[in-house]
Amino acid sequence: MNFTANDISQWIKNRKSTFVNGLKEGSQIDDAVIEQLLENASWAPSHGLVQAWQFKVFAGEGVKRFFEVQQAIYKAITPADQFMDFKYKAYLEKWKRVSHIVTVIAQRDPHKRFPAQEDLVSVACAVQNMYLSLESLGIAGYLSTGAICYSQEIRDFLSLQEEDIPVGFFVLGEPDPTFQRPPRTRIPANEKTEWIRK
């Protein structure tokens, strides 16, 4: 199958994050679809084929348990003046629209052949492969990050090694066809590009 440069550009520009409110209530994705998603992720660039990505997949009752853990961590680590009750309560509603959660981890090369930043960059490319695969698989989602993701509590929950880096939680479900998405924009590349010719 041949793709034009325009085909590729449009596919990239159509990449999108769909948050929980844009997922269908009662979302159910077959595990085989998630396996294909992760297989696509594993074809990301990787210096020396370190392939630093690691995935932990929460499904079924595991999704509800994951949000319960997030809720508990939010309460534990959030300063009182920043604590939002509506956000705290929302954790126990999210699971109703979520089919799977893929925790994405940059697992440090045990031989330390290359700088740790290269492991992280490679895993970020794997995340992009996941994003680019969503539409073709008929599913939707987004990478959730933030204070909980980087907390010691989540590291303990996921049984991470000392040098492993949690990159994010890819929250997945079926797209809600009634969801109205706001227009997306980007700063033109030429405003962020410097050409050096000599």
When pLDDT is averaged across residues 160-179 and rounded to a whole number, the result is 95
The rounded distance, in Å, linking the Cα atoms of 57 and 140 is 16
Report the Cα 81 to chain-centroid distance in Å.
Answer: 28
Does the structure show a pLDDT above 80 at 4? yes
- β-strands 165-173, 140-144 pairing: antiparallel
Residue labelled with tokens 């998405």 = 181
Q: Are 91 and 65 in contact (CB under 8 A)?
A: no
40 C-beta neighbours (distance < 10 Å), count:
17
When pLDDT is averaged across residues 157-181 and rounded to a whole number, the result is 95
Q: How far apart are the first and last CA of the chain?
A: 40
When pLDDT is averaged across residues 137-141 and rounded to a whole number, the result is 97
Which tokens is 111 given?
């031989």
Which tokens is 197 given?
């010719």
When pLDDT is averaged across residues 17-43 and rounded to a whole number, the result is 97
| pTM score of the predicted model | 0.93
* Torsional class of 193: left (φ above 0), alpha (ψ -120 to 50), beta (otherwise): beta
For the stretch 85-126, pLDDT in tens is: 999 999 989 999 999 999 999 999 888 999 889 999 999 999
The whole-number pLDDT of residue 1 equals 65
